[in-house]
Amino acid sequence: MADSLEPPLFNGSACQKDDESEDFFSPALESQSFENTTTLLNNYDQPRSDDNLANLMKGGGEEVCLDDDASSVTPQTKLEFCTPEEEAKSPFLEPFYENKISEPSAPAEITPTEPPISAAGKTPDELIEEENSNQFLKIIVKEPQRVGDGMGAYMRYKVVTKTNLPYFKHKNLVVHRRFSDFLGLHDKLMGKHLRLGRMVPPAPEKSVIGMTKIKMNKEESLSSSDFIEKRRAALERYLNRTSGHPVLRMDPDFREFLELESELPRATNTSALSGAGVMRLFSRVGESVSKMTFKMDESDPILLNQSLSDIQWFEEKQHHMENLEQQLRKLHNSVEALVHHRKELCNNTNSFAKSAAMLGNCEEHTALSRALSQLAEVEEKVEQVHMKQVNSDFFMLSEMLKDYIALIGTVKDVFHQRVKVYQTWQHAQQMLTKKREQKAKLELAGKSDKIAQAHEEVIEWEAKVERGQEEFENISKMIRKEVEHFENCRIRDFKDTIVKYMESLLNNQQELIKYWEAFLPQAKAIS
């Protein structure tokens, strides 16, 4: 091979004997350009004459490969004449240093490289994650309006969507939806995604008493307005939680809910007093009984193909969700009690402000009367601060805890769906065993007329067993992915909520300090 030969020495004596003896490289030198040879000459620190270099540069033509195997091309043959600076930057040739003759080496091996890194020092996966983080889908539910009179009245909400996701037709969307539309959307998503192991955020519960009060009262009262505001906030949180799921946000029904400007088809099975509502109630009771009576054993021999880590993961997560639900319920009850006591504090502060104002009007001492009037005004401002804190306690803490208690119920529903898939798989396994036994009995009895049918039944149930195993493995993988997404969202939501709640507490306390510091000179002025 040409790569293994030593390069000829191009010194003065050798060049003078070109006419007398044939050089090894002379056939190639006569038919090709000597640019690569000139590059090698420049890298050797040997004396050379200008005449010899001129004779070497007379040749021309196409490149000729000196290798025995014409199909193999070394990286060096791909290099054209370059300057020493360009040669130093070449990935194929090592730089030749001054006063040093480098021995010819084999072509450098091309080793697998790491994933390409951008100019910002980020891998493609990080760039994709950053691109997804730059996408947003913000939904606001506002302007609840009462439509109709009497028992046929209902509330309609304005849903405003702002997004830069490419699969939405417009960036700014405005539609009007009634409460039954939200429930209908939830039923559609549950029907498509729950059986696959995906978690669908629960929709707000219906309140027959609250809506009946709104329908019967012609004038809007304080209690009805409070109920409407709570429901509006709950619907907004439901849509934003659904949009936070990477798969649910792309669902056609969800996009239609946000984009279709006309009214959606009436969801007739969402009424609490309808036949579908009664059937749904019985179905929930049956599901509850099934959850209590059947417990899936993760150590079942049929599950031996699962890894030990998977078995332990499902057992630990189920216990973790049970404990988490209990603790969240206790915390929610405590926050509810806190909200109740703060409301009482607001009412008592209001009563105190009125009493101080009446006392200030009856007081004959001018400075004292003025101080009591100022005290009454301060107490009214304090009442407003307490009411702001009540709203923070309720909408930030109480409602978030209530939502996550419902979300844990959804996690448990997903786990139960896995149990149902396991039951179907187990039933198919049992039926396959029976069919095989029946086929064996027929073969022993020599009933050839029934063996063919028995064989077809065995093949049918074998396919069902394989399909059941595949569905069980798929839903197990999906549940692990969904629970991980749920945990990440839960930690992020709790962190953001606690920070916002602490900020509201600090702001409210600073307002109280400001009001009482302003009142202090009035109290000291009493003489």
pLDDT at 521: 87
Label residue 389 exposed, middle or buried (CB < 10 Å: 0-12, 13-18, 19+).
Answer: buried
How sure is the predictor about 123, in pLDDT bands with cuts at 50, 70 and 90? low
Question: Which amino acid, residue 408?
Answer: I
C-alpha angle with apex 367: 364 to 370, nearest 5 degrees?
85
Asked if 378 and 519 count as a contact pair (C-beta separation under 8 A), the reply is yes
Res. 127: pLDDT tops 50: no
Asked if 345 and 387 count as a contact pair (C-beta separation under 8 A), the reply is no
pLDDT at 72: 42
Asked if 241 and 189 count as a contact pair (C-beta separation under 8 A), the reply is no
Q: Which residue has the higher pLDDT, 285 or 360?
A: 360
Q: Is pTM beyond 0.75 here?
A: no
Question: How confident is the model over 514-527, as pLDDT tens digits?
Answer: 999 999 988 888 77
d(CA 320, CA 315): 9
d(CA 43, CA 222): 94
d(CA 259, CA 246): 18
Contacts of 289 (CB under 8 A, 6+ apart): none
pLDDT at 48: 46
Q: How far is CA 219 from CA 223, 227, 232, in A?
A: 11, 14, 19
Res. 132: pLDDT tops 90: no
Res. 126: pLDDT tops 70: no
Question: How confident is the model over 156-194, as pLDDT tens digits?
Answer: 999 999 988 888 888 899 999 999 999 999 999 999 999
327-335 long-range contacts (CB < 8 A, ≥24 apart) are 328/401, 328/404, 328/405, 328/408, 329/405, 331/401, 332/398, 332/401, 332/402, 332/405, 335/393, 335/397, 335/398, 335/401
pLDDT at 290: 57
Res. 125: pLDDT tops 80: no
Beta strand 172-178 with 154-163 is antiparallel
Res. 480: pLDDT tops 60: yes
HEC readout, 343-411: HHHHHHHHHHHHHHHHHHHHCCCHHHHHHHHHHHHHHHHHHHHHHHHHHHHHHHHHHHHHHHHHHHHHH
How sure is the predictor about 252, in pLDDT bands with cuts at 50, 70 and 90? very high
pLDDT at 131: 52
How sure is the predictor about 98, in pLDDT bands with cuts at 50, 70 and 90? very low
Q: Which residue has the higher pLDDT, 287 or 470?
A: 470
d(CA 492, CA 496): 6
249 closest CA partner among 170, 137, 169: 137
Res. 108: pLDDT tops 60: no
256 closest CA partner among 193, 196, 184, 204: 184
Query: 161: which strand partners?
Result: 139, 173
Query: 312: which strand partners?
Result: none
Number of Cβ within a 10 Å radius of residue 381: 18
Question: How confident is the model over 335-374, as pLDDT tens digits?
Answer: 999 999 999 999 999 999 999 999 988 888 888 888 889 9
Residues, the chain, total? 527
C-alpha angle with apex 142: 388 to 270, nearest 5 degrees?
110
Asked if 389 and 508 count as a contact pair (C-beta separation under 8 A), the reply is yes
pLDDT at 283: 61
3-17, 327-341, 364-378: range with lowest mean pLDDT: 3-17
Q: Quick one: tokens of 438?
A: 């029946």
How sure is the predictor about 464, in pLDDT bands with cuts at 50, 70 and 90? very high
Contacts of 328 (CB under 8 A, 6+ apart): 401, 404, 405, 408
Which DSSP string corresponds to 57-99?
TT--S-----SSSTT---GGGG-----HHHHHH-SSSPPPPTT
End-to-end CA distance of the chain: 115
pLDDT at 27: 43
d(CA 61, CA 449): 84
pLDDT > 70 in the chain, percent: 64
pLDDT at 119: 42
How sure is the predictor about 327, in pLDDT bands with cuts at 50, 70 and 90? very high
d(CA 388, CA 349): 14
Res. 55: pLDDT tops 90: no
Question: How confident is the model over 486-504, as pLDDT tens digits?
Answer: 999 999 999 999 999 999 9
Helix (H, G, I), strand (E, B), or coil: what is residue 21? coil
- Rounded mean pLDDT, 440-451: 86
d(CA 417, CA 221): 43
Question: How confident is the model over 374-386, as pLDDT tens digits?
Answer: 999 999 999 999 9
- Rounded mean pLDDT, 78-97: 44
Res. 21: pLDDT tops 60: no
- Rounded mean pLDDT, 212-234: 76
Q: Considering the chain, what is the average pLDDT of its residues?
A: 75
pLDDT at 451: 87
